[in-house]
């Protein structure tokens, strides 16, 4: 199970004296898209760095396991997990449970102008195997590129909202900065 936002939620209010760099929205989106059940990403609000933490490293850090029992590369991951767990500067990025990709797929299906494709794809996302059938369907109708663009726009909007909710300044990637403070 991936750690939810509640595991390492910020316990204390954001301190005004904590100066943070402006983060690139594209970096946040990239990390959101790479998450899985076995890992999560955290943003350090002080440095702007995004850190990957595995479920295994968090479990070891929470159980205070001896670092010597782990290979050197894993020791660094465990130290990072321990640091993130006790540091108010680290904020968990939205997880797949926050993103609701199924909902994004459903909205995409409804946005398709070709009625037959819209209807067919809406039907394919019901039940077991929905993601696979959906991807086969967008390939069949030749709209895979449209889907990826639509999905990227949705992820960017989720990332923007997350940044604003967490008082994080970000740069769109096109030179536009969003000052949230």
For residue 110, give the nearest of 100, 101, 120 by alpha carbon.
Answer: 120
| 147: pLDDT strictly greater than 60 | yes
Ranges 12-21, 32-41, 116-125, 139-148: which has the least confidence: 12-21
Quick one: CA torsion of 41, 177, 164, 80, rounded to 10 degrees? 20
pLDDT, the chain, mean: 83
DSSP string across 32-43: HHH-BTTEEEEE
Find tokens 């955290």 and name the residue: 42
The arithmetic mean of pLDDT across residues 53-79, rounded, is 82
Reduce the secondary structure of 44-104 to three states and give it as a string.
ECCCCCEEEEEHHHHHHHHCCCCHHHCCHHHHHHHHHHHHHHCCCCEEECCCHHHHCHHHH
Q: Check residue 157 and give its pLDDT.
A: 97
Q: Check residue 37 and give its pLDDT.
A: 84
The arithmetic mean of pLDDT across residues 87-96, rounded, is 86
User: Phi/psi of residue 36, each to 5°?
Assistant: -145, 180
Q: How confident is the model at residue 6 (pLDDT cuts 50, 70, 90)?
A: very low
């Amino acid at each position: 199970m991936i750690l939810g936002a509640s595991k390492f939620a910020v316990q204390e209010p954001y301190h005004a004296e904590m100066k943070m760099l402006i983060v690139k929205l594209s970096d946040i989106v990239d990390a959101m898209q790479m998450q899985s059940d076995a890992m999560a990403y955290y943003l350090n609000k002080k440095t702007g760095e995004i850190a990957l933490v595995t479920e295994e490293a968090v479990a070891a850090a929470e159980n205070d396991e001896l670092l010597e029992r782990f290979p050197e590369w894993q020791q660094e991951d465990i130290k990072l997990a321990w640091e993130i767990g006790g540091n108010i500067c680290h904020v968990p990025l939205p997880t797949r449970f926050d993103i609701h990709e199924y909902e994004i797929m459903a909205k995409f299906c409804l946005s398709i102008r070709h009625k037959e494709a819209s209807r067919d794809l809406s039907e394919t996302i019901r039940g077991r195997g929905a993601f696979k059938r959906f991807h086969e369907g967008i390939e069949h109708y030749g709209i895979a590129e449209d889907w990826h663009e639509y999905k990227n726009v949705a992820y960017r909007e989720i990332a923007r909202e997350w940044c604003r909710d967490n008082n994080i300044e970000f740069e769109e990637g096109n030179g536009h900065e969003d000052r949230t403070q």
